[in-house]
Amino acid sequence: MRAVFDKGELLVLLRDFYQLTGLRTVVFDEWGMDILSYPPELPAYCRLVRGTPEGEQGCRLCDQKACRQAQREGKTLIYPCHAGLIEAITPIQVDDVIVGYLLLSHIVQGADEQAEWKRAKGLCAGYGIPEDTLYQAYRQLPRTPYALLQAACASSAPWNCLPVPI
């Protein structure tokens, strides 16, 4: 089954969700390919990580793994990404068929700044990014308390949509 997303209407929804939560959202198609995100630009931290071949591959593999796991479990998953940030993914379903995924991404909880940064720094150590540059980008990421993340996930999990006639 091939999903057809109305990108204009979906973008309005993603923008409104971002305004309410401050969480960047990405929509993947059923194969795990990024088709729309808001805001459209990656945060500086992720641009640095993806600016290395190993980091780019790590991001791609992490996204694919999350899509497969969400498909298997059929529910929203909250997990750490390969670069030390928190993400949440939920299947988008039409008539009980998964047609895509909604990802809430690039999340730092801020509950224990030192421990969270230490973990992220360690996971990114092999990417050759100067630590001070990576740290400055990390500090720019918004802080999202776990309770807010759970509430955001509860409102989006899983997305069961009605088919729209074409």
Please state which CATH number belongs to domain 7-158. 3.30.450
- What does the pLDDT look like over 142-166, one tens digit per residue? 898 888 888 877 755 555 444 433 3
Bridge partner residues of 26 (DSSP) = 37, 103
Query: Hey, where are the domains in the chain?
Result: 7-158
**Residue 147, token pair as written in the block:** 């309770």
Whole-prediction pTM: 0.84
Helix (H) or strand (E) holding 26: strand 24-29
Residue with the larger pLDDT of the pair 46 and 20: 46
Q: How far apart are CA 105 and CA 82, in angstroms?
A: 12
Contact 51, 28 (CB under 8 A): no
Tell me, what's the pLDDT at 31? 84
